Amino acid sequence: MDLRKRKANELTLVVLISADLSSWFIVLFMDKRYALNYSLIWMFIMTVQIMSKVFFGVWVYKLYKEAYTDILTGLYNRRYFYKRLPNAIMKIPFSLLLIDIDNFKSINDTYGHVVGDFVLRQFADILRSKARKDDIIARWGGEEFVMALPQTGVDEAFHIADAIRKAVEGHYFCCEGVTCNITVSIGIASIDERADIDDIEQFFVTADKALYKAKENKNYITVAKM
C-alpha cells in the first residue's frame, strides 16, 4: 500500500463515517410521526456502525504500519521500498544510496545490543533530517540502509550523501552513560535520461559495488554511473 492508496483508504473511511453521522443526526431530528423508541433503536445501530468503522480503520492502519515499517528504527522496510521503487525510478534523473555503518559489529561487541539499537535509531533520525519530501528511506537490513532520490542527478546525490556522512561523523551517540562515534560508507548508483531503466536489480548491484569500494576506505563515498 503506497502513500496514495493509504490516503485514498483514509478518505474512504472518513466519507463512510461522515455518512453515518449525517444519518445519525437525521434520525435524531426525525419527524414526530415515528415513535421515540424506534428512533433510539436506529440511533443505537448507527452508533455501533460508526464505532465499528473507527475500530477497524485503526486496526487496518496498525496492520499497514507493521507490514511496511521497521520496528526498531521506524523507517520503511525492504518490502515497502520495493513497492515504491518502480514509480520513483521513473522520475529521472534518479539516484540510489546504499549506506552502511562502519564497524558496527564492534559497537555491539563492546557496548552491547542496547547501545547498538540506540545507535541505529539515532542514525535513522539523521537520515530523516537529511531527506527531502519525495525521498524514500528504508532499513535494508542490519546496519545497512537505502535511500531513493527521485529527480536527483549524481552531483546532487553526492552532496546529499556527503551531508549524511558529515552529520554522522560529527554526532555523539550517547546511551546509558556510553558515548561513541560512528562513520558511514556510502555507495551511489545514478541514472540519467539516456540510460536504460528496465532492470531495477542492476541498480542495487551497481550501488553495492560502489559501497564495497567505499568501505575499503571507511567514512567514504563512491559513485557509479549506470
Domain coordinates of the chain in residue numbers? 3-68, 78-225
What pTM value is reported for the model?
0.74
Residue 29: partners with Cβ closer than 8 Å, 6 or more residues away: none
**How far is Cα 226 from Cα 224, in angstroms, rounded to an integer?**
7
CB 207 within 8 A of CB 187: yes
Residue 130: partners with Cβ closer than 8 Å, 6 or more residues away: 160, 163, 164, 167
What's the CATH code, domain 78-225? 3.30.70.270
pLDDT tens, 137-190?
A: 999 999 999 999 999 999 999 999 999 999 999 999 988 888 999 999 999 999
Residue 42 grid coordinates? 436506529
**How far is Cα 20 from Cα 52, in angstroms, rounded to an integer?**
11
Kindly list the catalytic residues: 143
**How far is Cα 129 from Cα 160, in angstroms, rounded to an integer?**
11
pLDDT tens, 91-132?
A: 989 999 999 999 999 999 999 999 999 999 999 999 999 999
